[in-house]
Structure 1
Amino acid sequence: MIYFDEYGDKDNPTILLLHGAMAVHTFTQQYELLKDFHLVIPHLYGAGESVALKYDSSRLKEELVELIRSLNKSQIHIMGHSIGAQLAVMLVAENPCMFAKAVFLSAWVAPNEKSIKMYCKYAPLTVKLLQYRWLIKLQTKYWRYTKEQSDYMLAYAPKMTVENYQEFFKQTLNIKHFPQYLNVEIPMLAICGDRESKDIKDSLQLLAKNTYCRTLMMPKAAHDFPMRCANELNSIINGFFES
């Protein structure tokens, strides 16, 4: 089974938190907010304890379903960011009965070949930069990680490979392959920042085609808004999960 962190009382409602690419603690600014929940945080392939595993969205989806079933709960909540949000959309589309509510943050669900080629082209440079400890420290400080979380990323980030980093983009979810998403009837919330790419903004419009999915665009927010715009985001998701 996939490695995961766990916080809170298991008797409380569970939220499965699916982090963004390489950033296990994407939701560091939400842990305290969600302290009355049971939080389960899998280490997705290419990050944390799973950094050496090649990113394979289909295999990862199967492992996440296995993890959810092992929790022995009739339903749980789910929230994902970036690739984590893509996985969340897939899981909800195929297994809606498993979930009570879902939150998708910066979900890219409309593949753009030009964008994918661009990200893959610059992957060698991006991965090379992960070897510089000072740069990782600067990034984690910017993201408001704790020292423990920062040190942990310093330990696993240099192990990322170019090939694996490229897989994050090559396996971008295409919502057209999950037509059942339009029939999901659970409360859903999709959010992106107004400073994000056109691909992400277009994806938000596609997710809105399900009338059970409320969509929002956060002002002055970039792709890392769960960490950088936590006050605004936390107010929104707190109301969503508590309602």
Structure 2
Amino acid sequence: MSDPVVLITGALTGIGRATALAYARQGANLVVCGRHQDAGEQLAGELAGLGVQAEFVRADVRFDAEVRDLVDRAIARFGRIDVAFNNAGTEGAPGPVTEVTDDAYQATFDTNVKGTLLCLKHEFRAMRAQGGGSIVNVSSTFGLMGYPGAALYVGSKHAVVGITKAAALEGADHGIRVNAVAPGYTRTAMYDRFTGDDTARDAVDSVLPIHRAGTPEEIAAAVQFLGSDKASYVTGHILLADGGLMAGGPLFPSS
């Protein structure tokens, strides 16, 4: 694609920010989304400084009207959306299943699951009208395995896997590819909150086959592949970017 138009939710930090910068360096025009106006405008300015057109739209993916406005503004500005990266997500409040509450469930599932569905709804509307496009959702290795004390997050990311596969089948007749990236441990603020301290992070590194957590830039590269024409025959796929964790991890160390 020449100068593709890329829409990214959850773009202000971590993997979303790294992906926005990677696409800008590639020459893509961008619409970036998040919930914090000042940080969003700062990011849009940083992207524009790389020589591309960029616009920040404040939106919360939990709300249908805000997602509809986000997509409509992207179309009004650029005329199309070639790639959408549905990255907005939260780890929620980790804890045992015996302590799950209505509020904790809603806080996790409204963003990770409902937010993904609403983004797909409006991205499909735009991409069907233009004749196709590529959508990448963000799941996790926890969308393919269990983890104690994280039932809500694990459940939400499993849901994204199923939603991705169903949406891929719906999009196939319309030239819309839908895939998901499943990051393993990746050095983001969410990772720091989840692990808690350097000792825990060192322990994670010790059980990963390549002996380190990933970087946001490495996950961004996986997203770019799925979004690109190089993946033109790939849809309904969950791409692991996990340092070998799901290949066996601590059960089958590399050395």
TM bucket (normalised to shorter chain) is 0.3 to 0.5
Find the structure with the greater CA-based Rg.
2
Structure with higher RCO (Cα < 8 A, 6+ apart): 1
User: Which of the two has greater helix per residue?
Assistant: 2
Q: TM-score, normalised by structure 1?
A: 0.43
Q: TM-score, normalised by structure 2?
A: 0.41
